[in-house]
Amino acid sequence: MKKTSSFAALGGLVYSTDSGRMCPGCGQSEDACSCAQDSQLLGDGRVRVSRSSKGRGGKTVTLVTGLPLTAAGLREVCTQLKKRCGVGGAVKEGQLEIQGDQVEAVLQWLNERGYDAKRSGG
């Protein structure tokens, strides 16, 4: 009969002298824990859609900010918008970036789903 230690029964590392307390859910340090980020709402509820090309070498992207969703919800909405517009995109720093000038299509899609989305910028 194999004997298991109480450490292994708990599920792994609990404290590290390098990074301090460890999250039991994801195994990362509490500062870099992804569990807390997934349950936290990122947006403020004021959904704004704008067009930007700053810092992108002249390439235009459509930015969506303020969606009251978790990180997982933002990734899902991003995937649906990319399919709707037929372009690429990403979630960066709590905002959606959709490639190209897709402001009207994104506004229409968000308003159809019950978000009070408004155009922002010029």
Per domain, the residue ranges of the chain are 6-39, 48-119
Q: What is the pLDDT of residue 72?
A: 86
**47 Cβ partners below 8 Å, 6+ apart?**
64, 65, 66, 67, 110, 115, 116, 117, 118
Report the predicted TM-score, pTM, of the whole model to 2 decimal places.
Answer: 0.67
CATH of domain 48-119: 3.30.780.10
All residue ranges of the chain with pLDDT < 70 are 1-20, 22-25, 27-28, 30-42, 44, 122
Nearest 5°: CA angle at 28, between 17 and 64? 140
Dihedral sign, Cα of residue 29, residue 71, residue 49, residue 44: negative
Half-sphere exposure of 36 (CA within 13 A, CB side): 10
Q: What is the pLDDT of residue 16?
A: 56
